[in-house]
Amino acid sequence: MQDPKSIVITGGSSGIGAALALRYAGPDRFLALSGRDRQRLDDVAAQCRAAGAEVDTRVLDVCDRDALEAWLGEVDDHHPLDLVIANAGVSAGTGAFGEDALQTRHILSVNVDGVVSTVLAAVALMRPRGRGQVAIVSSLAAFRGFPGAPAYCASKAAVRVWGEALRGMVAGDGLSVSVICPGYVKSRMTAVNEFPMPFLMEAERAAAIIERGLAAGKARIVFPRRLFAVVWLLALLPPAWTDPLLRRLPEKSATPK
């Protein structure tokens, strides 16, 4: 969507979410930002207001569907939503102890249920007006499962495929859906990684790529291209060839971020 005026970003207190908020901040822009950390959220909001934007913040967990839907409804009542970016997510890995049931369910709950709740609420508000754009933040990890982060990969694959299918379903209602698949982006989430991250990108650069892709209404915003080519090839090759290689990759920290 070209020049959205009312924008919601979940997970807007750090990483890609914060970078997107600052990217969109400016005069005649309303930003509604959610996050789980009040101090970080307030810091981002202050920077956005300094750039001329009107900002509403809400500390909430996207897994709390009632609170999420109530907040989006309140925002829409005063600033009809143009763009909703379902960005909130967590990451964790197997570490030295494997991926236990509690960790797996937490990742799937936030990264799948939280995204689905955000998008469904946004679509319900936009559909009567016959316009609006929804963006789902997935990952390049959505194209091939990696032993170091099985639940994370599964969660990002789920929302990628769901978003791509949803795009066709709501197109007749005048709505647009874009799926965003970044590689490694500097953030609190990647800061715990103790292994090389190829083509690691600054969050500000990632936000610029995403903004351009959303303005063009792209169905899939994938970057960096070279890393996507590698992941795509891994997904195409037989598992018997790739599993031995992937099992040798470094493990990610087991602490959710």
Average pLDDT over residues 202-221: 97
- Cα distance between residue 153 and residue 77, in whole Å: 36
pLDDT score at 149: 86
- Cα distance between residue 225 and residue 61, in whole Å: 32
Is the pLDDT score of 65 beyond 80?
yes
Average pLDDT over residues 216-222: 98
Average pLDDT over residues 3-32: 97
- From the list 71, 143, 146, 152, the catalytic residue is 152
Q: What distance lies between CA 219 and its chain's CA centroid?
A: 15
Task: Indicate the pTM of the whole model.
Answer: 0.91
Domains, the chain, ranges and CATH?
A: 6-246 (3.40.50.720)
pLDDT in tens, 131-188: 999 999 999 999 999 888 899 999 999 999 999 999 999 999 999 999 999 998 877 6
At 66, list the tokens: 């009632």
Q: Is 24 a catalytic residue?
A: no
- DSSP-derived pairing of the beta strands 6-9 and 54-59: unpaired
pLDDT score at 151: 93
Is the pLDDT score of 64 beyond 70?
yes
Torsion of CA 54, 58, 59, 63, to 10 degrees: -130
DSSP code per residue over the chain: --S-SEEEETTTTSHHHHHHHHHH-STT-EEEEEES-HHHHHHHHHHHHHTT-EEEEEE--TT-HHHHHHHHHHHHHHS--SEEEE--------TTT---HHHHHHHHIIIIIIHHHHHHHHHHHHGGGT-EEEEEE--GGGGS--TT-HHHHHHHHHHHHHHHHHHHHHGGGTEEEEEEEE--B-SHHHHT--S--TT-B-HHHHHHHHHHHHHTT-SEEEE-HHHHHHHHHHHHS-HHHHHHHHTTSPPPPSS--
